Structure 1
Amino acid sequence: MNRKLIAILPAAGIGARAVGAEQDVTLPKQYRLLKGQAMLRWSVVALLQDERIDQVRVILAPGDTWGEKELGKLPRTVLRYCGGASRADTVTNALQELALQEQDWVIVHDAARPGLPAQSLRALIDTCLGLGQGGLLALPVPDTVKRGAPAGQSVLVQATVDRENLWLAQTPQMFPAALLKQALLDAQTKQAVITDEASAIELFGQQPILVVGSARNFKVTWPEDFELMEKWL
């Protein structure tokens, strides 16, 4: 059976938390430079490391003027301008315009995770295809976890949370295409808040597999993260 594996990279947001005082607020985070190249380009190239991925579909906001310049000449890469108001909306839009079959799979990766190692991507694909079950990269929580409660201008410790069996979710996240589309549409109907694809799958009654990821695959979120990521690349 001919099976397709399509990667979706939602890149329609602006990444407001990553904007420092000295940064141009009109430039979306994914186009900030890391070692002379846009962060988005690094993330796409990371996905292209595995030849089993038939195509990387980068989902941009309508009217985006940077994507073609940064990504236009990359192989197996398609730009689509159908980004939505949220990540879940963007991925749903991408799935709805794809004519995928029951046997096809999709991988969804963050534009802000340019440090994805090839071996982590390979481990995720091997595990999901080998077991026939969707999953995601993740890391066990290494630190003591506190739950905080706002108190005026401060945040006070409300409780210490047991970190056993707690994991930090990463991307890529990989699922059968039809299942993910159905789960996202179901979450949309329920007006549920979906922060990653796995949370939609969980709400739909499924249990994704956790595949150990890499510390290099952290999400560039805060202004100081750019300098740290450049040291990894």
Structure 2
Amino acid sequence: MRVHVILPAAGLGTRMASGHGGHVAANSSSISDGLHVVPAMAASASVAVMPTPAPKQFLTIGGKPILIHTLEAFLAVERVDAIYVAVKPQEMERVGQQIDKANLSQHARIFVVEGGDSRQDSVAKALAEVGGKYAAAADDVVLVHDAVRPLIESATIDKTIDAVLKHGAAIVGLPAVDTIKQVERTADGALVSSTIPRERVVYAQTPQGARYATMQRAFDEAANDEFQGTDEASLLERAGVPVVVVAGSARNFKVTQPGDLELAEFYLESGTRHA
């Protein structure tokens, strides 16, 4: 059994937030059963929020591109056998150069592959590489992680792998601390229709994973039906796959706003990155 990690960094970042169900892994005692999961935005190469022309994964924190920090986080986990960075064709050379500059090209575990026009397309293309060129076995573990979540902790990666091995599919989720309102869209704006109990809600993070055959089946079914999901879990759920939730961390945030860079710098300087 091998562990494959896909870092989609070629999409357009057009995901919408919506609720979907899940269960809780046994090692996630702080999250209750019967959850609504609210997806966060996908990693993207096109910047919609950050006021800079540079793709977010190429912005630097601690003197290194965000993507390099993310790669180093997964390289620190010995159980990870291969990491596939899915990027736009025109950015493949640049990513390769950054990997070389960071002295990571010595790691035979890193592969730069061509992504697609959306996150889902990028992951689908990477899955094709994993199953074809790199001959993944049906029971191999596949994790998908936002390239611009550089502060993912080794312990969280390990717990996600364990949850996939035990349950078949898993995501990382952060318990909600704000009150969540369900709304109806009207001509006068959004009207509150109900309040969702916070103990039944988590904010979806990454990694999100499943056995290779399970993940591939979910993507194949979505492609056949021309369905675009908000994240991997939404495709797995649609395919009838139970998805457990592993407790996440506030540090595992997606770099989206300018202030996120400063916060990431703080965590790096405080030495809490791979704790």
How does the TM-score come out when normalised to structure 2? Answer: 0.76
- The amino acid that maps onto 1:51 is E
1:152 offset after TM fit, Å? 8.1
CA separation in 2, counterparts of 1:71 and 1:217?
22
Structure 1 position 223 matched with structure 2 position 258: yes
CA separation in 1, counterparts of 2:184 and 2:259?
26
Gaps of 5+ in 1: none
Q: Do the aligned residues in 2 keep the contact of 1:31 with 1:66 (CA within 8 Å)?
A: no
1:161 offset after TM fit, Å? 3.1
1:157 offset after TM fit, Å? 4.9
1:165 offset after TM fit, Å? 1.1
Which residues of 2 match residues 126-141 of structure 1 at below 5 A?
126-129=162-165, 131-141=166-176
CA separation in 2, counterparts of 1:33 and 1:169?
25
Q: 2:149 aligns with which of 96, 113, 118?
A: 113
Show CA shifts across 1:178-211 (max 9, x none): 1101101111222222121111100000111101
Q: 1:154 to 1:70 in 2, by over 3 A?
A: farther
Q: 1:68 aligns with which of 96, 100, 105?
A: 96
Give the secondary-structure state (helix, strand or coil) at the position aligned to 1:66: helix
Q: 1:15 to 1:159 in 2, by over 3 A?
A: farther
Which residues of 2 match residues 25-40 of structure 1 at below 5 A?
25=53, 27-40=54-67
How does the TM-score come out when normalised to structure 1? Answer: 0.89
CA separation in 2, counterparts of 1:208 and 1:108?
14
Q: 1:69 to 1:209 in 2, by over 3 A?
A: same
Q: 1:105 to 1:37 in 2, by over 3 A?
A: same
Please name the residue that 1:89 is paired with.
121
Please name the residue that 1:78 is paired with.
111
Identity between Structure 1 and Structure 2 (%): 36
- The amino acid that maps onto 1:187 is A
Q: 1:162 to 1:50 in 2, by over 3 A?
A: same
Give the secondary-structure state (helix, strand or coil) at the position aligned to 1:97: helix
Q: 1:154 to 1:71 in 2, by over 3 A?
A: farther
Show CA shifts across 1:204-224 (max 9, x none): 001111011111101112222
CA separation in 2, counterparts of 1:52 and 1:165?
32
Give the secondary-structure state (helix, strand or coil) at the position aligned to 1:63: helix
Gaps of 5+ in 2: 11-43, 269-275
Please name the residue that 1:11 is paired with.
9
1:66 offset after TM fit, Å? 2.2
1:162 offset after TM fit, Å? 2.8
Aligned length: 225
Q: Which has the higher contact order (CA 8 A, sep 6+)?
A: 2
Give the secondary-structure state (helix, strand or coil) at the position aligned to 2:6: strand
Show CA shifts across 1:107-128 (max 9, x none): 1111010010111111112232
Q: 1:181 aligns with which of 216, 219, 224?
A: 216
- The amino acid that maps onto 1:189 is N
Q: 2:249 aligns with which of 202, 214, 218?
A: 214
1:135 offset after TM fit, Å? 0.5
- The amino acid that maps onto 2:49 is A
